[in-house]
Structure 1
Amino acid sequence: MSELSRSCGHAALPVTRRRTKITAIAFLIFAAYLVTNIFRLQYFRHEYYKDKVYDQITTSSAMRAKRGNIYDANMNLLATTRTVWRVFLSSRDIKKTEKADGVDYGEKIADGLSSLLGVDKENLLSKIRNTNVLDITVKRSVEEEEYRAVLGFIEEAGLEKLVFTEAQTSRYYPSGTMAAHVLGFTGSDNQGLYGLEYRYDETLAGKDGYYVYAKDANGQALPTEYATYFPAEDGYSLVTTLDSYIQGALEGELEKIRINHQVNNRVTGIVMDTTTGAILAMATSSPFDPNDPYTLDSVSEAKLAASGLSPGSDEYRAYKRELMQVMWSNKAVSETYEPGSTFKIVTVATALERGVATMSDRFSCIGYYEVGGWHIKCHKVKGHGSGFTLAYGLQMSCNPTMMQLAERIGAQGFYDSVGRFGYFEKTGIDLPSEASTIFHKPENIGSTELATASFGQRFKVTVIGQLTAIAAVANGGNLVTPYVVEKVIDSEGNTVTKHENTVRRRVISEEVARTVSAVLEEGVSGDGGAKNARVPGYKIAAKTGTSQKFDVLDANGNSYLRIGSTVAFAPSDGSGIAVIIVVDEPTTAVKYGSVVAAPYVAEVMAKALPYLGYERAGEEDEITVENFVGMHVDTAKKKLTDAGIAFEVVGNGSTVLRQTPGGGERVTTSLSRVILYTEESLPEDIVVPDLVGKSAAEANRIAIDAGFNICIRGVKDFLSVEGAKVAMQSLPPGSVAKRGDVILLTLLYYDSED
């Protein structure tokens, strides 16, 4: 037995050793794995796990940067950031508190907040009942009055741990719709979505900061020595070239056009400094409100209502989105149109610059010009006759004259000149979504394409591109870069960056520019097609245009929609301003640019030029009435006599107590009478006559007989001229006004075609 036991012991020893060896190897492998992983975690994954631990023991709170302001050229505020509040609640805490207190807080909260904030009670109550979360937004962008009412409700009802408020920032546009298409708007996160807000988003937005602090196991903040503060960097502000007075004047005229001429596809206009390219005003009718950009304007709303689509249907929602996109688009920059006869300025300037024509050349027009076997018509069916000058051809907007010039220039020369005037490149204006010119490829320009292009048809340009090209004629031949932002400033008003004017190139000589400008001015002051653009006392150079739209045709394949436009600049013999107005699809009987655009361009000029300090020159039909109130009646009488203005004194007092017209009003000198009241009697009420459609002489007689003063705009030598009629009057017919009040009459020539 002892031998057997000894034998078994010797046999077990190698097995034990093997097991020990295997265990040791396994331990070494595990140890090596452990050390390797510790090394990997310590050296290669150190930052990752450090951040994980850091996130577990710290929390952060965002510090929002304040978005910069946008100002006009005179530092009037156009866009700013203000404080609003978000009201939110915790459905989880509401349920817990209801269970503990046995009170229906959900009903109480839904009832109170729906009344104060104008939200749907049942919808809010459903969110409270059917969710179990810490944060449900009841309403964003709550104004201060509502916010204070909510605070009172929370305090009165003891809801401090269930309903909460959070201060936020919201973009605000103090002037409402003014310059909406230029300014654009921001989204709910304050990110720029359109216009300058989008183009300069990074400049305006600034950089958010944050506050980082340590927290204990219960999530409570530890003392401040464990906190770090990274301050926000507020955004910079923009100082634009826009002038609120001129912007308002332009917008007012565009709305008049839209209403008076029943425009179907919006009206747009620009006022620009011809030397620098600074945009003084830019607008499109009808402007939306950037404070509420997702609400359609009245015109778009009417189109939606007239669509016949069922509210709530997919088609209805799609059409509403389409209308909204159109409403937001800046028509002056993002859309193209056929410039029509306003382009004839470029054709004439090109011919003179290339030396293929002179001002002494003679032309003829029989009502059409034959090109490539086609009779391409002039707007004047009977023709302009023969032996007339180039100046006459431009002033009368003769198509055959332009086609003859284009033949002399040649296809390649014409194409090159169009490029020189900047049409084949974007203007570079600092606004988003600038469209590009649509023009014939050089190899596709045949005789017919060249002929129609000479008078601005069968190609498309942007409104800003057309005005920039014409400004090159106005400023003496330089193609400038239009711009909207003059400088960027910080919160202290210090200049960060400033615009530097850019002349891209010279496109024509000063001599050619002066010659063309003089011809255009003579067409306004004389009997040219642009005479409706006249402004008393100023040299206005202008060209009207009416183009066909070939995108939409009638059942017979004919174009029936029109675009009427006018471009003008003043003074015509030096640096100044240029104005363009484009009327897309007027639906009234007369659609010519000389009627639907020219007189409104004149009105913008009449307001902008004296405001900008351009002095009147030459004869004036109008005078500004002085304020005589408080003046001795004899002094007032002498002043009126010296000014050549008729007057009437009512009463026996020695001091002027009241007057009509009032001080500052403009009247036509030879046709007006100032009434001075020296006693406490009130001016007599009288009914305004209907003067529309009357000649100047007839309107004057009727107004004077009724007891009114008049101020006549739009026509020179208005009492003797033929063909001009009253198109508009400032006081509505049938309304009641005071004896001596001024009726502003706008006279137009309806025999002008373009």
Structure 2
Amino acid sequence: MAKGTTVRMWHRTVFVLLMMMIAGFGAVIFSLVRLQIVEGETLKMRAVDNQVKDTVLTAQRGTIYDSNMKVLAQSATVWQVVLEPAYITDDNRDLIAAGLAQILGMDKNVILEHTRKKTYFDVIKRKVESDVKDKVVAFKDKNNITNGIRLIEDYKRYYPFGTLASTILGFTGTDSQGLSGIEAEYDSELTGVSGKLVTAKNAIGTDMQYDYEQEVPAQDGNSLVLTVDEVVQQILEKNLEEGLVNNKVQNRGCAIIMNVKTGGIIAMAVKGDFDPNDPFTIADKTVADQIAKMPDGEAKTKALREAQQAQWRNKCVSDTYQPGSVFKMITGSAAMEEGLVTETTQFSCPGYLTIGGRQIHDWRRSGFGSLTFAQGICQSSNVVFMKVGALLGPNLFYKYFDAFGFTAKTGIDLPGESRSIYYTAAQLTPINLATESFGQSFTITPIQMITACAAVANGGYLVKPHVVDRILDSDGNIVKSADTTPKRQVVSNDTSKRISAILRQDATTGTAKSGYIPGYRVAGKTGTSEKQEIKTSKEYIASYCGFAPADDPQIAMLVFYDEPHGNSYYGSYVSGPVFLKTMSEILPYLGVEPKYTEEEMAKLDASTPNVVGQTVAQAKNKVSSDGLTPQIYGDGEKVVSQVPEPGKSIPKGGRVVLFTDQQSKEKTVTVPDLVGLSLSQANERASQSGINISVSGAALTGTANAVSSLQSIAPGTKVAPGTVVTVSFIEPNHVE
């Protein structure tokens, strides 16, 4: 009995043990299946995360070039200062902390905390310039520090020309991401692909030395070649800023220069602007001082943010305005294309029209009497264009309004383009049609207006404005080029030529003569429009839009000032001289050859002969024989210098000052105030002051009442006698 019990107990024990073994092995097998198959990938990733550390290596951002491959924005090398705490001992810990604190301008105790971390890689400062990096290298060499401090190459964005083209270029943030302008619009092209520095960790979680590192190199971003010409941009910004100051403009000014055949933006400027190297600093000192005086708090933060957004805003593409009389070139083109008018179609202008019970006046309230259509453009008659608008009717007017691109964004490759506000054909009541026909009651962007102007000039083709000509990879290969195919033809080549001829006449004898340039066949139109959103007081926008040469248009230009508070707010007075001065400088630079009429040749300035080194008698004879007036300073027998210099332009009959000794060369005269004068008054005042004046603008067109509006050298400036000061003239009028 006892034996049987023993056997059963043994069998039971074996069974229990067997079950336990099966359960145990089953649990192990189940765990193995779960760990290796079900959770295998997750655990593998966790293991990798515990064993390696990734450090991002920044890719070099692509370079931005102008059309002549001048660098406008580039990423220059800077450095990251990295500690290797695992190599730092108590023997050199204090030395390293103290040395780096002094070089990097950091707190020593902060660096000491970094030196005690369990790692081989710890960034303590980024974007360190090369001069600071050199000091770190010198510190390491001097103290024989082979391990513990590392320097890793990084990149920082630079804009070599400062504020130049800032609203086109935009800027980047601290993480090298584009935040505005081209930098934002083409961020994905410019950024490139970041690399990695993979660092291994040991069993206790400490980074291992760089023998166990692996680097995945960064791929540099693509570069951009713009249509913008840096020289033209410089000229435009200089003259735009001068007009801003002279006319006391309150709400910034902007200007665009476009290739009428391709839509390429040769220059685009906004003043006031900012420095993309320091974009968060308010460039307008008056505004900056006002914000600085505010008490700290939410109001100050808000004011600073609004001021920053305002200076970054590209007025050329983001602001809308009523174009005023500049728009008459569009209404006129539509009417000519439809055969509703010709150059000689007669209109009567009594000075106003009554439409829908409302009396709408012309800018000349007494009227013009009988005018042809061409004269209606040159005199900028609102009455004539209200009648032209009525001939078109709502449907045809809207058809061309849409065709010229005013109902849609242009698609320019810049961020923040605004939409226009307008009436559809069904919404065009007689009074709306009348006011829209001369550029009021709707708002468009400056980029829309100049694009439409280019279509008027280039044979009727609507082009797409763009600022990037091509994209290059890091090896300089072309990745993509801009498509310059026109969107559509809006008017015929015949209509384009005929309107251009009328606009050329407008710039020669009409209301746009403040933009007249001898030899360059400028076509132009002025515009003055009231800002309807202003309720408390009247504010205006003054503009001038035109192109050249009128017989073979190459470039169009729009100048736009918002709220001028100077002597006048009319487009001819405010924007015309800036258009004139800029076109006078850039057309020769761009290789546009002048073609002078006989009348223009008779008025051209002469070239100063070279008489340096000649005797006084010889020099006087040479100057006089060239139709100029010699004036002698000094007691020497020979000419040692002259003003103007040899080969420089001088008005016919002008004064060439000859200096005959060193003492006489020091003589100076004071430039007088030459603004607000008639041509004869300006000549008399210049003669009395001992300087020459070169005349431009309306005074060259034979206009009897031309008045000087701008001079190239500021009043009160000390100059050598005989210096030539260029004076621009406008015809004072009240064109709206």
Task: Give the C-alpha shift of residue 647 in structure 1.
Answer: 3.9
Distance 1:704 1:665 in 2: 19
Match among 252, 258, 261 for residue 244 of structure 2: 258
Match among 33, 39, 45 for residue 39 of structure 1: 33
Counterpart code for 1:473: V
Match among 607, 611, 618 for residue 585 of structure 2: 607
Distance 2:195 2:622 in 1: 66
State whether residues 529 and 594 of structure 1, in contact with CA within 8 Å, keep that contact through their aligned partners in structure 2.
yes
Distance 2:414 2:385 in 1: 34
SS in 2 for 1:193: strand
Match among 529, 540, 550 for residue 562 of structure 1: 540
Task: Give the C-alpha shift of residue 336 in structure 1.
Answer: 1.3
Length-normalised TM-score, structure 2: 0.89
Match of 1:184 in 2: 170
Task: Give the C-alpha shift of residue 632 in structure 1.
Answer: 5.7
Distance 2:9 2:345 in 1: 123
Distance 1:192 1:643 in 2: 59
Structure 2 unaligned residues grouped into runs of 5+ = none
Equivalent runs, 1:132-211 vs 2, <5 Å: 134=117, 140-149=126-135, 166-211=152-197
Counterpart code for 1:417: Y
State whether residues 364 and 734 of structure 2, in contact with CA within 8 Å, keep that contact through their aligned partners in structure 1.
no
Match among 501, 511, 524 for residue 518 of structure 1: 501
Distance 2:564 2:35 in 1: 75
Task: Give the C-alpha shift of residue 137 in structure 1.
Answer: 7.5
1:532 correspondence with 2:526: no
Match among 296, 314, 322 for residue 312 of structure 1: 296
Q: 1:361 and 1:158, CA in 2 relative to 1: closer, same or farther beyond 3 A? A: same
Task: Give the C-alpha shift of residue 139 in structure 1.
Answer: 5.7
Deviation digits for residues 109-130 of structure 1 (CA, Å, limit 9, x no counterpart): 69x63xx66x6x7xx4685699
Q: 1:133 and 1:698, CA in 2 relative to 1: closer, same or farther beyond 3 A? A: farther
Distance 1:699 1:72 in 2: 40
Distance 1:423 1:41 in 2: 66
Distance 1:648 1:381 in 2: 51
Match of 1:727 in 2: 709
1:616 correspondence with 2:584: no
Q: 1:222 and 1:629, CA in 2 relative to 1: closer, same or farther beyond 3 A? A: farther
> Bigger CA drift: 277-286 or 166-175?
166-175
Deviation digits for residues 126-152 of structure 1 (CA, Å, limit 9, x no counterpart): 856999975997764333334444555
> Bigger CA drift: 625-634 or 242-251?
625-634
Distance 1:389 1:151 in 2: 80
> Bigger CA drift: 494-503 or 251-260?
494-503
Match of 2:230 in 1: 244
Match of 2:273 in 1: 287
Match among 474, 479, 482 for residue 499 of structure 1: 482
Task: Give the C-alpha shift of residue 210 in structure 1.
Answer: 3.1
1:575 correspondence with 2:548: no
Distance 1:190 1:639 in 2: 63
Match among 512, 527, 530 for residue 545 of structure 1: 527
State whether residues 94 and 112 of structure 2, in contact with CA within 8 Å, keep that contact through their aligned partners in structure 1.
no
Distance 2:331 2:490 in 1: 13
Length-normalised TM-score, structure 1: 0.87
Match among 66, 69, 90 for residue 63 of structure 2: 69
SS in 2 for 1:141: strand
Counterpart code for 2:533: D
State whether residues 227 and 265 of structure 2, in contact with CA within 8 Å, keep that contact through their aligned partners in structure 1.
yes
State whether residues 608 and 650 of structure 2, in contact with CA within 8 Å, keep that contact through their aligned partners in structure 1.
no
Distance 2:545 2:230 in 1: 21
Task: Give the C-alpha shift of residue 735 in structure 1.
Answer: 3.2
Q: 1:103 and 1:517, CA in 2 relative to 1: closer, same or farther beyond 3 A? A: closer
State whether residues 92 and 131 of structure 1, in contact with CA within 8 Å, keep that contact through their aligned partners in structure 2.
no
Distance 2:508 2:253 in 1: 26
SS in 2 for 1:349: helix
Match of 1:398 in 2: 381
Match among 42, 46, 56 for residue 48 of structure 1: 42
Match among 216, 221, 243 for residue 235 of structure 1: 221
1:271 correspondence with 2:257: yes
Task: Give the C-alpha shift of residue 316 in structure 1.
Answer: 0.9
Distance 1:424 1:244 in 2: 32
Equivalent runs, 1:325-724 vs 2, <5 Å: 325-385=309-369, 387-526=370-509, 528-554=510-536, 560-618=538-596, 619-620=600-601, 621-623=603-605, 625=607, 628=610, 644-648=627-631, 657-663=640-646, 665-668=648-651, 670-677=652-659, 679-680=661-662, 682-683=664-665, 684-717=667-700, 721-724=703-706
Deviation digits for residues 591-643 of structure 1 (CA, Å, limit 9, x no counterpart): 11111111101111001101111111121544374573767679977876675
Q: 1:390 and 1:30, CA in 2 relative to 1: closer, same or farther beyond 3 A? A: farther
Match of 2:22 in 1: 28
State whether residues 547 and 553 of structure 2, in contact with CA within 8 Å, keep that contact through their aligned partners in structure 1.
no
Q: 1:583 and 1:323, CA in 2 relative to 1: closer, same or farther beyond 3 A? A: same
Q: 1:693 and 1:189, CA in 2 relative to 1: closer, same or farther beyond 3 A? A: same
SS in 2 for 1:690: coil
Q: 1:638 and 1:204, CA in 2 relative to 1: closer, same or farther beyond 3 A? A: farther
Q: 1:737 and 1:313, CA in 2 relative to 1: closer, same or farther beyond 3 A? A: same
1:750 correspondence with 2:732: yes
Task: Give the C-alpha shift of residue 505 in structure 1.
Answer: 0.3
Distance 1:160 1:371 in 2: 88
Distance 1:29 1:360 in 2: 109
State whether residues 57 and 197 of structure 2, in contact with CA within 8 Å, keep that contact through their aligned partners in structure 1.
yes
State whether residues 625 and 662 of structure 1, in contact with CA within 8 Å, keep that contact through their aligned partners in structure 2.
no
> Bigger CA drift: 597-606 or 144-153?
144-153
Deviation digits for residues 193-238 of structure 1 (CA, Å, limit 9, x no counterpart): 11111111122222223344656547565796x7655332222211
Distance 1:167 1:341 in 2: 56
Distance 2:469 2:714 in 1: 41
Counterpart code for 2:708: V
> Bigger CA drift: 79-88 or 376-385?
79-88
Counterpart code for 2:77: T
Match among 50, 73, 76 for residue 79 of structure 1: 73
State whether residues 671 and 700 of structure 1, in contact with CA within 8 Å, keep that contact through their aligned partners in structure 2.
no
Distance 1:339 1:209 in 2: 50
Aligned identity (percent) is 35
Match of 1:741 in 2: 723
Counterpart code for 2:712: S
Q: 1:23 and 1:452, CA in 2 relative to 1: closer, same or farther beyond 3 A? A: farther
Q: 1:68 and 1:101, CA in 2 relative to 1: closer, same or farther beyond 3 A? A: closer
Distance 1:532 1:176 in 2: 32
Task: Give the C-alpha shift of residue 553 in structure 1.
Answer: 0.5
Counterpart code for 1:337: Y
Distance 2:631 2:293 in 1: 62
State whether residues 675 and 710 of structure 2, in contact with CA within 8 Å, keep that contact through their aligned partners in structure 1.
yes
Task: Give the C-alpha shift of residue 380 in structure 1.
Answer: 1.8
SS in 2 for 1:337: coil
Distance 1:126 1:535 in 2: 69
Q: 1:151 and 1:400, CA in 2 relative to 1: closer, same or farther beyond 3 A? A: same
State whether residues 190 and 222 of structure 2, in contact with CA within 8 Å, keep that contact through their aligned partners in structure 1.
yes
Distance 2:109 2:676 in 1: 64
RMSD across aligned positions (CA): 3.4
State whether residues 533 and 599 of structure 1, in contact with CA within 8 Å, keep that contact through their aligned partners in structure 2.
yes
> Bigger CA drift: 468-477 or 192-201?
192-201
